[in-house]
Structure 1
Amino acid sequence: MSTAPTRTAVALRHLAFEDLGILGPILERRGYRVSYLDAGVDALDGDTVQGADLLVVLGGPVGAYETGTYPYLAGETEAVARRLEAGAPTLGVCLGAQLMALAAGADVTAAGRKEIGYAPLGLTAAGEASPLKHLAGSPVLHWHGDEFAIPEGAERLAETPDFPNQAFSLGANALGLQFHLEADHTRIEQWLIGHANELAAAEVDPRTVRADAAAYGPALAEAAEAVFGAWLDGLDERG
């Protein structure tokens, strides 16, 4: 049941269709007023970004390290770094997690390989004790070709055979996810159209991704709600 908004959640978006997905309604039901900032367009002013009760940094097709080509990334990294230093609740997805890692002093590099499609995660001991425990056995949506190192002081939570660093936490208030737990499986066609060139270059058949979204999406959405709910419940709002 929805409640009147008492808190603010700001989502930093890099592509129109890579939005909050299923996370948006989850936040609204928990009393957050949700708004978006579009990267490279909207100013990342302190009142909006630093004053938000929650910042969600979403995915995108550029590398976190490509500041020479996409200068706005430097401003994003700085804004994320300020929130991490303040202990302000911050969630990063794919590029967002990479920006968090970079902001926390870890390396982000091109992997030289792609991981696209639905596949299960392996959870570390820390992951099994974290909100990610609800993903045990659930294939999740991967869509990346970059990888991050785990920041100093962070806990590594998940892995796959090709990408050993799939998730990390920095205390209770910062969670970085390489995979797309927020993606709405009922809107996977937007992803297949928007990333058609990348799929072709990686020789990934969109029919496979579409079929897997239909097969795994409903159960994954339930697991994702449990993950997000547990993480939100565990936030230390004092920072």
Structure 2
Amino acid sequence: MTKTALVLQHVHFEDLGSFLEPLLAAGYSIRYSSVGDADFCSGDPLAPDLLVVLGGPVGVYEEEAYPFLAAQRAFLAARVASRSPTIGVCLGAQLIASALGARVFPSGIKEIGFSRLTLTDAGRSSPLRHLDGVDVLHWHGDTYTLPSGAANLASSALVEQQAFALGRNILGLQFHPEAETDQRFERWLVGHAAELAAAKIDPAALRLEAQKHGKALKDAAALMLRDWLAAAGIAR
């Protein structure tokens, strides 16, 4: 029987990326629901076998400017309360943390570029072990406090909270293991051009980093996702 994955998307160029192949291989039927769609965050939040919440350039705390955030957090609160399998990436991780009662706030820095994680003991015994020694893509300015009952899995040189797990079914990833770093990475550079300019980050240098680290990141991300699906009991 085909399993279903609902993907909540905030900007068109931040998609499943390298997560797509492992999900298809695991037998998932994938449906995107994007900001601006009439059915965004509607329906039964417990219905999909898997929920994936992607990134975006807004803050969880900006509900007045972006009212969809309140509805999305309510959708997620119901989902995570039931411990239904859920993955959040960047903004998605922050939304999950917020739905679990944690605080999301500006970190005071822009962490953009490729660097390695430092895994905690919990991280080394989790599917994130595949990312040990791999340069991952960071692209954020916000961070979160660790949700009650969750385990911190990783940190970076700049930001302590880089990944958390609540049991085997809830996973938040502050970084971007899913980002495609081939020619499709150009969509990120153009889509975030104003942010890169404001942070004085050279897109040419970032492009070279993506070319250097992309293959290793894609392979490690696929192994991480495969093992997480298996641990959550929702693999083929």
> Normalising to structure 1: TM-score of the pair?
0.95
For 2:2 and 2:192, how far apart are their aligned partners in 1? 36
The answer to whether structure 1 residue 71 and structure 2 residue 67 are counterparts is yes
For 2:70 and 2:165, how far apart are their aligned partners in 1? 22
Deviations 1:133-186 (A, max 9, x none): 011110000000000111000000000121100000001100000000111111
- Which stretches of structure 1, 4 residues or more, deviate above 3 A after TM superposition? none
The answer to whether structure 1 residue 194 and structure 2 residue 187 are counterparts is no
For 1:35 and 1:63, how far apart are their aligned partners in 2? 24
Unaligned runs of 5+ residues in structure 2 are none
Q: Percent identity?
A: 50
Aligned to 2:98: 102
Secondary structure of the corresponding residue to residue 46 of structure 1: coil
CA contact (8 A) 1:50 1:79 kept: no
Secondary structure of the corresponding residue to residue 61 of structure 1: coil
Letter matched to residue 192 of structure 1:
L
Deviations 1:24-54 (A, max 9, x none): 121111100001001243322233x420000
**Matches of residues 42-121 of structure 1 in structure 2 within 5 Å?**
42-43=38-39, 44-47=41-44, 49-121=45-117
Aligned to 1:215: 212
| Shift, 1:92, TM fit | 0.0
Letter matched to residue 227 of structure 2:
A
The answer to whether structure 1 residue 145 and structure 2 residue 105 are counterparts is no
Secondary structure of the corresponding residue to residue 17 of structure 2: coil
The answer to whether structure 1 residue 205 and structure 2 residue 202 are counterparts is yes
228-237 or 144-153, which moves further after superposition?
A: 228-237
Secondary structure of the corresponding residue to residue 59 of structure 1: coil
| Shift, 1:126, TM fit | 0.5
| Shift, 1:236, TM fit | 4.1
Aligned to 1:227: 224
CA contact (8 A) 1:56 1:91 kept: yes
Secondary structure of the corresponding residue to residue 37 of structure 2: coil
**Matches of residues 156-175 of structure 1 in structure 2 within 5 Å?**
156-175=152-171
Deviations 1:92-143 (A, max 9, x none): 0000000000000000001121000111101011000100001111000000
Letter matched to residue 3 of structure 2:
R
> Normalising to structure 2: TM-score of the pair?
0.96
Secondary structure of the corresponding residue to residue 189 of structure 2: helix
Unaligned runs of 5+ residues in structure 1 are none
Letter matched to residue 140 of structure 1:
V
